[in-house]
Amino acid sequence: MTRVFSGMQPSGDPHLGNLLGAWQNWVRMQDDRDCVYCVVDLHAMTAPAEHDPATLRERTVQLATGMLAVGVDPDRSVLFVQSHLAEHAECTWLFNCVAGFGELRKMPQFKEKSEGRGESVSVGLFDYPVLQAADILLYHADEVPVGEDQRHHIELARDIGQRFNHRFAPEDPVFTLPKAVHPPAAARVMDLQDPTAKMSKSSSSEKGIIYVLDEPKRIEKKLKSAVTDSAGDIRHDRAQKPGVSNLLEILAAATGGDVEVLAAEYDGQGYGAFKAAVAEAVIELLRPIQQRYAELDADRAEVERILAAGAERARAIAVPTLARAKDAMGLLPAVRP
Ligand code: TYM
């Protein structure tokens, strides 16, 4: 069966971009694929300024709760916390000796996040995509459901896997080469106040971000004040009409509709009615998730039990993969006395 792996960082409250760009696919893929999903807490430590130990611990449980609330089903899929398996960090070291300085320096996300930070940028931020490659390759993932912004990271994971196989295991490849899977609409949800920038946890203003746990009134307000343009027509054209196009994509992803069909349906009705329709669709999409979140949040012990069971199942896949990789690289097997 096709194996799927994906992860999300506990580095801020999950927003509509995370839900439409990644989580919706995570949930859908469970129907006919073998899925492994992960709260990537080690990745969330790569920005020292935002790393507060108590907050990280709290957000890790909250994010796992969010994943269950959107519909990750622990009976069908593996759900676990990255740092519960030492294999991810260990595999990263092996890959550090395969990945090149030049290819990491070129990663768009590293460039964005390190800009203006000079020498204070952490080595962890630089190495972030190598840890991500370890996440994916340890599980022999064929497909990685992510938003558009992760495209380069998945390509790098593929390159590292290919290089490793070629150099160390040409006869019997250790790693499966993964490919990214993006949703048909909303693979890149934009900020409501600045539709030329990605909706992101690190945005300067919260007005442009819809959080998964936002109350209906807040969602209505944020969508009402979403930046559009002065033309008044509704059509999908990211270059000329970034605000309207973003709203169309959100509506399509929230309702399962088609962007062009929706544009034809709402064109002529004015931005006010269109925004109200988008708000209603988002509120309805989030309502059951928020209800389920509240139920799960009241039973943390159950969430922790699910994560413990998930780590065991993850280990059963990752441990043998890492052992094969170490052997292929020529590391002497440890013999227990
Ligand atoms: P993170 O936590 O930043 O993002 C989690 C997922 O949400 C998607 N996403 C978006 N999609 C559409 N529009 C947006 N505005 C938007 N913002 C975020 C991201 O593409 C991602 O799918 N590096 C990963 C975490 C990771 C990972 C992995 C992913 C670590 N190891 C292994 C896949 C496989 C990240 O950026 O997460």
Which range is least confidently modeled, 42-51, 237-246, 288-297?
42-51
Which residues are the active-site residues?
113, 198, 201
Q: Residue 204 above 90 pLDDT?
A: no
| pLDDT score, position 44 | 97
Report CA(154)–ligand 1 centroid distance (Å).
Answer: 11
Closest to 124 measured CA to CA, from 56, 14, 7, 41 = 41
Report CA(147)–ligand 1 centroid distance (Å).
Answer: 6
| pLDDT score, position 50 | 86
| pLDDT score, position 123 | 96
Question: Ligand 1 pocket, 189 CB below 6 A?
Answer: yes
Topology (CATH level 3) of domain 3-186+300-328: Rossmann fold (3.40.50)
Tell me what the mean pLDDT of segment 305-329 comes to: 98
Choose which residue among 38, 149, 182 to substitute to test ligand 1 binding: the one with the highest number of ligand atoms within 8 A of its C-beta.
149
Confidence of residue 116 (pLDDT cuts 50, 70, 90): confident
Phi, psi of 36 (to 5 degrees): -125, 120
CATH superfamily of domain region 206-295? Tyrosyl-Transfer RNA Synthetase (1.10.240.10)
Domain residue spans of the chain: 3-186+300-328, 206-295
Mean pLDDT of the chain: 97
Tell me what the mean pLDDT of segment 31-46 comes to: 98
Question: Ligand 1 pocket, 43 CB below 6 A?
Answer: yes
Report CA(286)–ligand 1 centroid distance (Å).
Answer: 19
Q: Residue 117 above 90 pLDDT?
A: no
307 or 205, higher pLDDT: 307
pLDDT in tens, 217-231: 999 999 999 999 999
| pLDDT score, position 118 | 84
Instruction: Please name the residue ranges forming H helices in 71-181.
Output: 87-96, 101-105, 108-114, 123-138, 151-168
Which range is least confidently modeled, 120-124, 186-190, 303-307?
120-124
Structure tokens at 140: 């022999």
Q: Residue 203 above 80 pLDDT?
A: no
Tell me what the mean pLDDT of segment 274-288 comes to: 98
Q: Residue 48 above 90 pLDDT?
A: no
Q: Residue 314 above 80 pLDDT?
A: yes
Which residues sit opposite 228 in a β-bridge? none
- What residues contact residue 147 under an 8 Å CB cut-off, 6+ apart? 17, 18, 21, 22, 182, 187, 188, 189
- End-to-end, the C-alpha distance of the chain in Å comes to 39
| pLDDT score, position 3 | 98
